[in-house]
Amino acid sequence: MRASEWAKREGLNVQTVWKWCREGRMPVPFEKTSTGIILIHDPKYERNEAKAPSGRTVCYARVSSGDQKDDLQRQADRLKAFAIGMGVEHPEVVKETGSGMNERRRKLNRLLADPTVGTIIVEHRDRLARMNAGLIESALSAQGRRVVVVDDTELDDDLVRDMTEVLTSFCARLYGRRVAKHKAQAAMKAADDA
């Protein structure tokens, strides 16, 4: 529902709700559309409203590496509890390990391609995709489907870790080539001197 409608139901000023959204202090999940409209996903109202897309509700949990398996299970449990709070009787949970920087995530690709999935619930927007998550949301919305983000605040530590990994990979490639080039030049010089 729109922020103004939620504020009215809660007995709050809409300006206060907008401020909470800007500051990341909303007590319930919300999303900001590409046109700037703030949509509030309050489980106590969404449970009672039949405006949810038809189809299955799937909780999508993702971590970047295999050493985060405990985090993956905790994330999946939180998503399932949230879905039950929204009124979903038997939410499906899909867990995946893979980078959010590329499109090589088979389980997410299957969910996006499956028209029977009406709602995808993720804990953070970056669990869906590191970049251009809004494009995925817009495409699903055009099909009458939606993405519900439980916590719309950014996770800087995880993002910094991923960026560091990307930069390290690029640097290793760059400096590795340079070292190989220098070694080849030294070998050629040694052969010429002999």
Concerning whether 64 is annotated as a catalytic residue, the answer is: yes
100 or 189: which carries more pLDDT confidence? 189
Residue 20: is its pLDDT beyond 70?
Answer: yes
From 64, 67, 66, select the one nearest 99 (Cα to Cα): 64
Beta bridge partners of 58: 92, 120
CB-CB contact of 29 with 36 (8 Å): no
Q: Which fold has domain 52-154?
A: Rossmann fold (3.40.50)
For the chain, give every domain's residue range.
Answer: 1-47, 52-154, 156-194
Residue 124: is its pLDDT beyond 70?
Answer: yes
Q: Quickly tell me which residue has 């799937």 as its tokens.
A: 58
Q: Which fold has domain 1-47?
A: Arc Repressor Mutant, subunit A (1.10.10)
From 39, 45, 54, 29, select the one nearest 4 (Cα to Cα): 39
pTM over 0.85: no
The one catalytic residue among 34, 54, 64, 138: 64
Give yes or no on whether 1-47 and 52-154 have one common fold. Answer: no
Q: Tell me: the pLDDT tens digits for 81-115?
A: 888 888 888 889 999 998 777 778 899 989 999 99
60 vs 90: CA distance, rounded Å: 14
